[in-house]
Amino acid sequence: MSRQTVTPEEKVRLEEVRRLIRYHDHRYYVLDDPVISDGEYDQLFNELLILEARYPEFASVDSPSHHIGGAVAEGFTAVQHVHPMLSLDNIFSIAEFRSFQEKLQRFLHTKQPLRFMIEPKVDGLAVELVYRQGVLHAGSTRGDGLVGENITAQLKTVKAIPLRLQDDQGFTIPDELYVRGEVFLSKQGFHRLNQLRHQQGEALFANPRNAAAGSLRQLDPRITSRRPLDFFVYGVANPEVLPAEGQEALLTVLSRFGFPVSPLVKGCALPAEVEQQYQQMLAIRHTLDYEVDGLVVKVDAFALQRRLGHTARAPRWAVAWKFPATQATTIIKAVDFQVGRTGVVTPVALLAPVEIDGVVVKRATLHNQDEMARKDLRLGDSVLVQRAGDVIPEVIKVLPELRNGAEQSIEFPISCPECGHPLVRIQGEAATRCVNNHCRAQQRQRLIYFAGKSGLDLEGLGKKNVEQLVQSGLVGDIADFFFLSAGPLASLEGWGEKSARNVLAAIENRKKIPMARFLGALGIRHVGEVTAGVLAEHFSSLQGLMEADEEQFRRIDGIGEQVAASLTMFFQDPHVHRMIERLQEGGLTLLPSGNKQEQPLAGRVFLFTGSLQAMSREEAKRLVKAKGGQVAATVSERVTDVVAGEKAGGKIKKARELQLPLLSEMDFLQLVSAGEE
């Protein structure tokens, strides 16, 4: 095979890639302030590995490919790791995983399938905990793999980390144990932390990983103690001191010592099982309450791990099988100001198209006027955009260091971009809104909401179709849905007789509907599912609602001043009166709540926190609604039952303060299955 000759351009590129990786390593590991996404960093690092493999004569001992992390941050003392804290090589496809396991088999001179252990790659901060005679002696960050930062005092504030190992499980605690694991911040904890920082005028963390790292790098441990940090153990540096011959047995021992182990850890006897677990983890990643950016795959047996050994930066017996990136860098081309159904004006960034998590993203929310000002957002800015499942993409970080001077400031409008009515911002609220109830944009959004899944769920009338009906003049308010006819519908572009018949049948099927669901579908400000249920219980008819005044609404248990004012404004509007009259003329019939025998959960309001094992939380919520119950999103005195799954968040504390009944998942399952054969 002929030796490849490096071109001058490739030699320059090799040095440039090394320089860029060093710069981004410093931003990520030392400053906790990355300016590119994980996916873009992985691409850059992969390019370095390819170039160095192609031209080994340009290998360098100080190349980033031989190092793991960053330097010790200012203010912390250095800790020399007795056993290096190695990183993991990345793979990104089934083909690469198969190549990985085939390479292991060749190295071990075997054709037998290897047993692997898989675990979620939690996006946090890797730490080492040193225990002497079972007591936590020291804790440190990974650092550059050889030298980390002493954060013992900070780690002692993480409640999930045992300060003393349990010794009542029949295992002998070794004299010295080097435990490795990941400190992370839950999504709920991350959002609470950022809300607090926003209120205090502090810069927001870009993601939970940076929030966790920033929390552990507080010189004052008291600050760390106020951060809701969590921890999963994943291994030890000296497994030979424990009665375990493989990773699975090791995690069992560590669990009995008192360490939390991810419930998603699983043994796989065949490579095909690993591939299946990857797909399953990918499917549920966005439902977890913590960020997961891949799957860690490890050879289970320690004897095989020792034979396989490691390179300068990573073990040969493990890889990180990365998920598609959820973040990417792109450019803001323009900003559109959208008016919602309650009048809130939301700035939306129009982006240079970029692929994130397999989807091309062209738009991202900027949240509100305060966020735009805090980020000093400008047209032409390079920004970090994040997408997570079905959540609307958001701009989470501006990259001012990439500005070239051509960027332009963005002014938030002072009048409604749709109807021209002056915009209003109520003191104490983040939202800027149009208060003209007859604003065309609000009416259009209310129509979309009414027909959508949160409203009456009219099959065949998604957002685009509703917008088409509005643009054609067939629908102007909610009542118009009940007077549509086949001919005009069938003549619309992209429709036909069958589409028209299906939509009309869906509308006809929704003309008889429970009062609570109808009230929730109207899109009244501050009126969600629970409040709609309260109103349906209190009022026997729409006429009673329309005749009630603000004081009458206030006297209803669970209705506050804001809700009462919103209801009064809505139901005393003459346009609403005419709309309801037309709905009734079109055949609207509101059904009362079913009797208790038919609706065993009638009158009960459930709140779910934590993850369920037997079903998803969405399935549990649908089950509650099917049995006449209601579901709340926040803790309040109206909640009658709090269902606590695994890793329940801060809602539990508030529920206990209000002395609300707590149900385990088993309690809940027994409750909803009572009386069923």
Task: Report d(CA 469, CA 463) in Å as an integer.
Answer: 10
Q: How far is CA 60 from CA 53, 54, 67, 326, in A?
A: 12, 14, 11, 32
- Say what percent of the chain tops pLDDT 70: 93
Q: Of 121, 298, 375, 397, which is the active-site residue?
A: 121
Domains of the chain (ranges; CATH) run 8-66 (1.10.287.610), 78-322 (3.30.470.30), 327-432 (2.40.50.140), 440-448+459-591 (1.10.150.20), 605-673 (3.40.50.10190)
Is residue 646 within 8 Å of 610, Cβ to Cβ? yes
pLDDT at 35: 76
Query: Higher model confidence: residue 3 or residue 55?
Result: 55
pLDDT for res 101: 93
The residues, ordered by sequence, that sit 6+ positions from 589 with a Cβ below 8 Å of its Cβ are: 511, 512, 513
CA–CA separation, 323 and 267 (whole Å): 20
Q: What's the whole-model pTM score?
A: 0.56
Listing DSSP states for 460-494 in one string gives: T--HHHHHHHHHHTS-SSGGGGGG--HHHHHTSTT
What span, in angstroms and rounded, lies between the C-alpha atoms of 508 and 459? 11
* Whether pLDDT at 68 is above 60: no
Indicate the DSSP class of residue 521: H
Beta bridge partners of 502: none
| Spatial distance between the Cα atoms of 530 and 526, rounded to a whole number of angstroms | 10
Question: Which of 436, 398, 480 shows the shortest CA–CA distance to 573?
Answer: 436
165, 258 in Cβ contact below 8 A? yes
Where residue 438 falls (left for φ over 0; alpha for ψ -120 to 50; beta otherwise) is: alpha
Q: What is the pLDDT of residues 143-155, one digit of tens each?
A: 888 899 999 999 9
Catalytic residue at 121?
Answer: yes
Instruction: Please measure the distance between the N-terminal and C-terminal CA atoms of the chain and give it in whole angstroms.
Output: 72
Backbone angles phi, psi at 580, to 5 degrees: -65, -40
Sign of the C-alpha dihedral, residues 646, 647, 650, 653? Answer: positive
Centre a 10 Å sphere on the Cβ of residue 386 and count the other Cβ atoms it contains.
Answer: 21
* Cβ atoms 570, 519 nearer than 8 A: no
**Percentage of the chain surpassing pLDDT 90?**
47
551-604 tens-digit pLDDT: 999 888 778 888 999 999 999 999 999 999 999 999 999 987 544 445 678 778
DSSP class of 146: S
